[in-house]
């Protein structure tokens, strides 16, 4: 089908675009390049540079390309920044999403996939976290995603727009040595650790070593970006059978220390660490229960932590300065 991908030049969005193109879909990427990279976009996709804040531009891309489905990734994405700038996240992310939904309804788009977040669950009462867990967003970023999920329920009810809300835990890894993670500033653990191995940072700061976990450091669920992309394609096909919500994770937690040690094994670098204070609001353990999507769509994450780090290292070592280092637009 013909699909519009907002934020399709970003980390997860670009990986999904490549998989959509490989599966034979016609893909239109709409991205402002605020955080994305032109060099990450599949060469077979149609690229339109634009901002979701521009309602007229959204309407034009919808009218010109008449997509049957939309995958929405475009968003401010830094949880910590959202705590400092709540109106940016409760403002821009929600308003821009509303612009997109209004245009989609006007043009009769029948399928919509939202890139949502595990931050909806804040400090969870139980782990692993399934879709029935209490929703208590841990930041304005998570609150904005929740508002969009609630909007989608009404899009289905009023306009018959079938949707999937896909709640990621920790996206990680690289689709290939030519397509990977490139953020400025970088806030994700695995690329930060690998930047130490590349000599771009002196050490990794471990924020807290006194959590109630086996080694005292936080435990997180990492899911390979290729597995995430697979979930998006399965969900897009499944929307014919109705709207749905899924938590996406591997179901296996790894501590900060385990991640660092795996990076040492893969890179052969000692990767020094220093201990920092706990960060406010950091849960000790966040692990997904992905039983629903496994049962309904047959999805299985195929990459463990070692495979994730190996793929990330292949990307970072080949592209130590990201897309800009290859002469790509950044």
Catalytic residues: 141
Other beta carbons within 10 angstroms of residue 201's beta carbon come to 16
CA angle 42, 79, 198 (to 5 degrees): 60
Cα-based angle 245, 246, 251 (whole degrees, multiple of 5)? 165
Q: State how beta strands 253-255 and 219-224 pair.
A: antiparallel
Helices marked H in 174-283 — which ranges?
189-197, 225-238, 256-267
Strand 253-255 to strand 46-49: parallel, antiparallel, or no bridges (unpaired)?
Answer: unpaired
How far does CA 176 lie from the centroid of its chain?
17
* Cis bond before residue 185 (omega within 30° of 0): yes
Q: Could you tell me how many residues make up the chain?
A: 330
Do 19 and 229 form a contact (C-beta atoms < 8 A)? yes
| Nearest-angstrom CA–CA distance, 83 and 75 | 15
For tokens 């690329």, the residue is: 191
């Amino acid at each position: 089908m013909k699909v519009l991908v907002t934020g399709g030049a970003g980390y997860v969005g670009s990986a999904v675009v490549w998989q959509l193109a490989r599966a034979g879909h016609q893909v239109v990427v709409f991205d402002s390049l605020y955080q994305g990279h032109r060099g990450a976009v599949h060469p077979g996709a149609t690229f339109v540079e634009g901002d979701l804040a521009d309602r007229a531009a959204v309407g034009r891309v919808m009218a010109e390309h008449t997509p049957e489905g939309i995958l929405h990734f475009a968003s401010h994405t830094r949880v910590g920044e959202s705590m400092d700038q709540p109106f940016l996240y409760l403002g821009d992310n929600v308003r821009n999403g509303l612009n997109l939904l209004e245009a989609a309804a006007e043009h009769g788009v029948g399928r919509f996939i939202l890139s949502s977040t595990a931050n909806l669950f804040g400090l969870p009462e139980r782990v692993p976290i399934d879709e029935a867990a209490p929703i208590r967003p841990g930041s304005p970023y998570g609150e904005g995603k929740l508002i969009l999920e609630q909007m989608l329920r009404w899009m289905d009810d009023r306009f018959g727009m079938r949707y999937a809300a896909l709640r990621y835990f920790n996206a990680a890894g690289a689709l290939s040595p030519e397509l990977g993670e490139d953020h400025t500033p970088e806030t994700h653990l695995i690329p930060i650790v690998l930047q130490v191995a590349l000599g771009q940072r002196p050490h990794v700061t471990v924020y807290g070593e006194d959590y109630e976990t086996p080694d005292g450091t936080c435990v997180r669920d990492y899911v390979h970006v290729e597995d995430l992309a697979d979930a998006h394609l399965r969900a897009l096909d499944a929307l014919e059978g109705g709207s749905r919500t899924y938590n996406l994770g591997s179901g296996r937690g790894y501590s900060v220390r385990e991640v660092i040690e795996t990076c040492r094994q893969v890179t052969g670098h000692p990767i020094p660490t220093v201990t920092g204070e706990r960060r406010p609001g950091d849960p000790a353990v966040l692990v997904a229960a992905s039983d629903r999507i496994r049962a309904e769509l047959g999805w299985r994450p195929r990459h463990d932590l070692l495979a994730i780090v190996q793929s990330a290292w292949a990307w970072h070592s080949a592209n130590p300065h990201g897309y800009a280092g290859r002469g790509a637009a950044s």
